[in-house]
Amino acid sequence: MSLNKLLSPNDHPDLAEERRRATFNTDEMSAIIWENKQNWLRRREISKIVAEHPELHDPCSQAYMTRAEEVENAARKATTMIRKLGELGISPFEGEDIFHLTNEVIGIRGHPLAIHAVMFIPSLQAHCSDEQMHFLEMAMSMQIIGTYAQTELGHGTNLQKLETTATYDAKTQEFVLHSPTTTSMKWWPGNLGLSANYAIVVAILMIDGKNYGPHHFVAQLRDLKTHMPLKGVTVGDIGPKMAYDSSDNGFLRLDHYRIPRLNMLMKHSRVAPDGTYTRPPHAKMSYSAMVHVRSHMVRHQAMFSAYAMTTAIRYSAIRRQGEITPGAGEVKILDYQTQQYRLLPQLARTFAFLFTGQAVKNIYMRVQKDMAKGKVDEMAELHYVTSGLKATVTHLSGEIIEQSRMSCGGHGYSKATNFSEIYGVAIAGCTYEGENMVMLQQLARYLMRAAQAATTGHSLSSLTDYLVKPCEKHSLIDKHPDKTYSHHISAFEWAARRQIIKAYERLVSLKNQGLSNEEAWNQNAVELNRASRLHTRLYIAQKFYDKVQTIVDGPCRAVLEDLLHLHLNYELIDMAYYLLEDNYLTGQQLNHLKEDMYRLLQKLRPNAVSLVDAWDYSDHELRSVLGRRDGHVYENLYKWAQASELNRTQVPPSFEKYLKPMMEEARKMSKL
Amino acid sequence: MSLNKLLSPNDHPDLAEERRRATFNTDEMSAIIWENKQNWLRRREISKIVAEHPELHDPCSQAYMTRAEEVENAARKATTMIRKLGELGISPFEGEDIFHLTNEVIGIRGHPLAIHAVMFIPSLQAHCSDEQMHFLEMAMSMQIIGTYAQTELGHGTNLQKLETTATYDAKTQEFVLHSPTTTSMKWWPGNLGLSANYAIVVAILMIDGKNYGPHHFVAQLRDLKTHMPLKGVTVGDIGPKMAYDSSDNGFLRLDHYRIPRLNMLMKHSRVAPDGTYTRPPHAKMSYSAMVHVRSHMVRHQAMFSAYAMTTAIRYSAIRRQGEITPGAGEVKILDYQTQQYRLLPQLARTFAFLFTGQAVKNIYMRVQKDMAKGKVDEMAELHYVTSGLKATVTHLSGEIIEQSRMSCGGHGYSKATNFSEIYGVAIAGCTYEGENMVMLQQLARYLMRAAQAATTGHSLSSLTDYLVKPCEKHSLIDKHPDKTYSHHISAFEWAARRQIIKAYERLVSLKNQGLSNEEAWNQNAVELNRASRLHTRLYIAQKFYDKVQTIVDGPCRAVLEDLLHLHLNYELIDMAYYLLEDNYLTGQQLNHLKEDMYRLLQKLRPNAVSLVDAWDYSDHELRSVLGRRDGHVYENLYKWAQASELNRTQVPPSFEKYLKPMMEEARKMSKL
């Protein structure tokens, strides 16, 4: 009886062979990956329901649709799905069920209600005062479709400089929303282009000529019956993007557009009828939403990575190319050390990101509760942690996905694999929700405060305790580490501490040379980013380690220990620079780390397929011909290709119009 | 009078300000980039001609076309272009003119005659015997459209295991071409899907049951008049890909398809009417075509990188975001150290790749001549060099392009920038013409032979002289290097030598442990790849250095010296690991390298825009709203977006069909 529970009689023999080699029960691992058995079984149930309902399927591969077709198809599926939620007992706006259902039915390319669910409703929840709950009710019951319009053509991160204004007119008790310039147009919000009829517009509040900074306003954009843009509203789609083809990201220009006073969201700041402004009690309350989104991003990036890894590792087990021993027959490409090195450390990272994402989600939930009791400090701290995580994880996920794609050779380049969409969607995370360089600088601000505290022997919080811990050099050369990996973690701490302190000292030194605080900061920005990345990589390593300690199932724990061990070695080699610099590590120790890594590649290889199988993605959700569970790749690639729009006729129109005249002319000439 | 000759009265003031700061004459630099003044002026002339001929333009942005529209549009432009070649005095199949014309007219997304020009004709030239010249004549005069069909669904690099067979039938003096399995279908060849009516098919030659390995056969695929596939031929498009949307990459299945004996290309091997087989005189002759393609690839990757850099640097000079000094106004994002660090080292790499590409092209031409005289050794050597270059440069170009894209924030994600297409096209180079891991292993074979020779004090060739040179440690801390950068180059040599020797010793040690040659090689493959990369990075640094020495114009040389210096520092820091490992470099020296790098970022920043301007890409060729020469980005992004297919109606069909019923139902429910 195979420990890999996905093994099935119709499997490609090469995949079946891999599955029979599993040393752990994949069902147990699935429960770990999806946090518990209940979640995992619920996922299965949802996948099964989707499989049984053809009205939730695509009529053809999404790769074959035009954007207009995609947008319409996504609207069809999203509304059909919403209608079934009651019957399925799924809440439309929160939890894992709707997330998984959406991935199954819609995929990752976007749909017309996406921003309504992930931005519009949460923002209303966060900012509606008691007398404004009707907005939330209309949104939750799907009477309106909303979006969140913040970014402008000319402005992203720096909200203070947004150009859209909301000028209070006390006479009529209205706000006048206005886009004074081309660059002030709202630009990028998802579903703003065609689908939304409402938006939360972030605009600079102006009262009696005074600038009160950015605030949230609810604006109706389109007529509820005809869907035509209202007077004063210019709105449309911003055109195709690197990915997310079925999302109608939009632009919005407002021309002296009036909304009632009570359309400003007033839970925190208020404008009285006479124009009197009241400040919010806690400026830091606004962290919470960002932290929420970024903590989810870490898990989502792990899932994107796992999509890519599933395809790459399964395909590497059925693709045969070249012989290692001449005459012995072509081997699976997964047998090449280069292929193992390309994939297995990235698989380890995928698990590291997953477990880190789970951990920060749990911390967020705890801290959120504390905040309700008035404790806001930990949320501020989590803001810094998730800023660093967001930047580090999105960047590395891009690497995971592209390495996965390229490891599939030419076929990885085909849209039949879904790789380019996964990459496009994942890598967008480097830019949205705070551009990565800005995110790293955010964390660096915290780290510099921690470094300053450390100069007097103090720690700002448990997050940066390692800055003041007595540090000693440990040997990393044990062939059989003690399973606590404490020396590995110490090495991460050493690297992070050293870079943080160096960056701090350089900052002080630049200021001592006469630079202003801001100039010194800017001229130190690259070193600060390095510090943030190292701190974050330590954090991830620690969370991976912590999670593995909680695993009860022996065989699962054993293989996760191997993955953890590989992760720690790979990351330390990748950051060896910081460890060699001051001889924390010797060249010989580094060699041992490498030899250990090569050994781990061989050790993990037999479990590689089972480790991706355990994510338990259905073929439907994966949308990848190369990643099919059964491994029957080639015949299905052929089947997929035959559906290409270019194969609808045997002879393309370009032949009669252009190619034939050219060739006939040439033949005539040759006869002259 | 500005030294930047692209400065024009209608420039965005922020770009104009940058251009006025140029310290060198951009016309002089253009002549260096395009190798001489004549080439550069000819480029300008071609750009001008294209600008003046609307029949060579696209009716709308390529991003708005379906694949069918793109393929037809590309056929229209390609055939129109071909017709004009005589009038323009441009040769259709070789030289820079046709390359530049194609980039202007078609862009980089492919066209129906592309493989005809770059693979079909060169292969005929290389393999036609005297009695087969009619194939070449038909191809050159465009009476037929050919492609090159080698890769199969189940087989790429390992040609010996191709499954397509060509069985000689002496009775009829024909070859029977046959695809015995699904995996034996030809898969991927460009233009095979719809456009080509001929192909060179690579198939295993079988005579009397004996396998003679892969050979080239000319097969007509489609009827010349009707373009219908001939009997025994199944052919079609393989569907959409990550990029190259207007290229009809295809599949081909041959069912006992007969061709005359003289359709096997017989310049090298021959099959006599009675089936007697004659071997080619030089097995290594076949290197030449691969070397040719790969040496061009290096330059092309530099050009793709320069496209991306042009957009990123120009946009970074007009995008303003955030204040460095509070209250002093928002700064150009190029003023942030993080942005400079993201872009300028990549710009230096772009120049490094360009000059390396020029150098190997010139070496190729010389060696090609020598080969005609029977000297084949240097071509074999160049094969190894270009294998390493191909792998290293394509990988790093991907990094250059993605860093460029992300440096543009959200707007970089829009197809209005062309970034995603440039990335998709450039990164394909990691996979085609020999997958990168395989390429690095090729070079490693040469390096291991060189390492073995070095153990007895011998050098295989000037390429690996540094393996036997007396090596000493140099100080890299001079604040004012002597402009020979000899210490920098020594450090590259040190790193490469050390890794090559270490990899060699590890290989020997694995064999001594009892592994077979092949097993030892496989278990050492990652270390071998590291050796190949370091050797190649040394080669690139050396070629960049060599080129700068030839520059006569003082101001151009000065800024190129700065770029070279930045490149050397950045690369050495990037590979510091290898230098710190055995204390070639101390932590303090590394610090100096970094400080020097930060200083160079500031020094180069004022020339950044002028350095990309000097590539002299027309807006038409660049196809990037963000990269426009005049910098008027925002109004043109808006204009571009308005053309989105989704903006053809104010209200999308999805509203009436799906969104309205959902909302109306919800409103009814709420009233109950």
In a domain, A209, yes or no: yes
Q: Indicate if A527 belongs to the active site.
A: no
The answer as to whether B523 is a domain residue is: yes
| Strands (DSSP E) found in A249-314 | 250-254, 257-260, 270-271, 277-278
Span A570-583, average pLDDT: 92
B80 vs B368, more confident: B80
Residue A368 backbone dihedrals phi, psi, to 5 degrees: -60, -40
Least confident piece of the model among A40-49, A118-127, A549-558, A579-588: A579-588
Closest listed residue to residue B422, CA positions, set B636, B626, B642, B150: B626
Distance CA A419, CA B183 (A): 22
- Is A146 assigned to a binding site? no
pLDDT-based confidence at A482, cuts 50/70/90? low
CB atoms within 10 A of CB B296: 18
| CA–CA distance, A264 with A215 (Å, rounded to integer) | 8
A211 interface with B at CB cutoff 8 Å: no
Distance from CA of A200 to the nearest CA of B (A): 18
Tell me, what CATH number does B261's domain have?
Answer: 2.40.110.10
Q: pLDDT value at position B539?
A: 98
d(CA B192, CA B221): 9
**Does residue B546 belong to any structural domain of this protein?**
yes
Whether residue A440 sits in one domain with residue A369 = yes
Cβ separation B238–A652 shorter than 8 A: no
Picking from A241, A321, A646, the nearest residue to B414 by CB comes out as A241
What is the reported pLDDT for A658?
98
Cβ contact B518–A324 (<8 Å):
yes
Identify the pLDDT of residue A475: 62
When divided into structural domains, chain B yields a total of 3
Give the mean pLDDT of A637-650: 96
Domain with residue A35: its CATH number is 1.10.540.10
| Burial track B308-338 (b if 16+ CB lie within 10 A, e otherwise) | bbbbbbbbbbbbbbbebeeeeebbbbbbbbb
- The count of C-alpha atoms lying within 13 angstroms of the C-alpha of B633, restricted to the half-sphere facing its C-beta, is 26
Q: What is the pLDDT of residues A186-230, one digit of tens each?
A: 999 999 999 999 999 999 999 999 999 999 999 999 999 999 999
* Chain A interface, best mutation among B634, B660, B670, by max A CB count within 10 A: B634
Residue B373 and residue B490 share a domain: yes
The domain boundary, picked from B590, B611, B632, lies at B611
Annotation-wise, does A213 bind a ligand? Answer: no
Q: Are residues A280 and A299 in the same domain?
A: no
CB contact under 8 A, A645 and B431: no
Q: What is the mean pLDDT of residues B591-612?
A: 97
Mutate which of B188, B340, B646, B667 to test chain A, going by most A C-beta atoms within 10 A?
A: B646
Residue B66 and residue B192 share a domain? no
Whether A150 and A109 map to the same domain: the answer is no
- B112 and B158 in a single domain? The answer is no
**N-to-C CA span, chain A:** 76
Residue A608 and residue A566: Cα distance in Å, rounded? 13
CB hemisphere CA count around A195 (13 angstroms) = 33
Q: Strands, DSSP E only, in B66-179?
A: 146-149, 165-169, 174-178
Which of A611, A628, A657 is the last residue before a domain boundary? A611
CB-CB under 8 Å, A336 with B518: no
CA A314 to chain centre: 23
- Please write the tens of the pLDDT for every residue from A527-545: 999 999 999 999 999 999 9
Interval B462-509: pLDDT, tens: 899 999 987 777 666 554 556 678 899 999 999 999 999 999 999 999
pLDDT at A289: 77
Q: Does B234 touch chain A (CB under 8 A)?
A: no
Of A161, A229, A414, the CB nearest to B239: A414
Q: What is the DSSP string of A198-257?
A: EEEEEEEEEETTEEEEEEEEEEE-B-TTT-PBPTTEEEEE---BSS-TT---EEEEESSE
Examine the domain organization and report whether B272 and B345 are in the same domain.
no
The pLDDT of residue A480 is above 60: no
DSSP for A419-485?
Answer: HHHHHHHHHHTTTSSS-HHHHHHHHHHHHHHHHHHHHTT--SSGGGGGGTS---------SS--SS-
Mark whether A300 and A277 lie in a shared domain. no
Measured between CA atoms, how close is B38 to chain A, in angstroms? 32
Size of the A and B interface in Cβ pairs below 8 Å: 380
What is the rounded average pLDDT of the residues B8-29? 98
User: Would an 8 Å CB–CB cutoff place A662 in contact with chain B?
Assistant: yes
Check which CATH number belongs to the domain holding A380 and give it. 1.20.140.10
Residue B417 domain-assigned (yes or no): yes
Q: Which amino acid is at B59?
A: P
CB interface of A with B, residues 400-419, below 8 Å = 402, 406, 409-410, 412-416, 419
Measured between alpha carbons, how far is B378 from B84 in angstroms, rounded to an integer?
39
Do A177 and A197 fall within a single domain?
yes
**Contact residues on chain B for A518, CB-CB shorter than 8 A:** 324-326
Joined tokens for residue B148: 């090159």
Identify the helix (H) or strand (E) that includes residue B103.
helix B96-105
In a domain, A575, yes or no: yes
Instruction: For residues B670 and A174, give the distance between their C-alpha atoms in angstroms, rounded to a whole number.
Output: 27
Evaluate whether residue B90 is within a structural domain: yes
With respect to residue B354, please indicate whether it lies within any of the assigned structural domains. Answer: yes
The whole model's pTM is what?
Answer: 0.97
Residue B20 domain boundaries: 13-117
> What average pLDDT does this structure show over B239-265?
97
Q: What is the pLDDT of residue B554?
A: 98
Contacts of A653 (CB under 8 A, 6+ apart): B68, B72
Instruction: Confirm whether B124 is domain-assigned.
Output: no
Query: For residue A177, is pLDDT > 80?
Result: yes
Q: Identify the residue with better confidence: A316 or A373.
A: A316
| Cα dihedral B304, B307, B311, B312 in deg (nearest 10) | 40
Residue ending a domain, among A285, A306, A338, is: A285
Point out the catalytic residue in the list B18, B381, B433, B621.
B433
Predicted pLDDT at B475 = 62
pLDDT tens-digit map of B287-300: 677 888 898 999 99
Q: Which of B158, B430, B655 has its CB closest to that of A406?
A: B430
Asked if A232 and A305 sit in the same domain, the reply is: no
| Residue B193 CB partners (closer than 8 Å, separation 6+) | A644, A646, A647, B235, B236, B237, B238, B248, B249, B250, B251
By Cβ distance, the residue of A79, A251, A337 closest to B658 is: A79
pLDDT tens digits along B314-360: 999 999 999 999 889 999 999 999 999 999 999 999 999 999 999 99
**Any idea which of A35-44, B59-68, B460-469, B604-613 has the lowest mean pLDDT?**
B460-469
Are B37 and B181 contained in the same domain? Answer: no
Check if the interface score ipTM surpasses 0.90. Answer: yes
Amino acid present at B431: T
Query: Does the distance separating the beta carbons of B236 and A646 come in below 8 Å?
Result: yes
User: Are A220 and A361 members of one domain?
Assistant: no
**How near does any CA of chain B get to the CA of A480, in Å?**
21
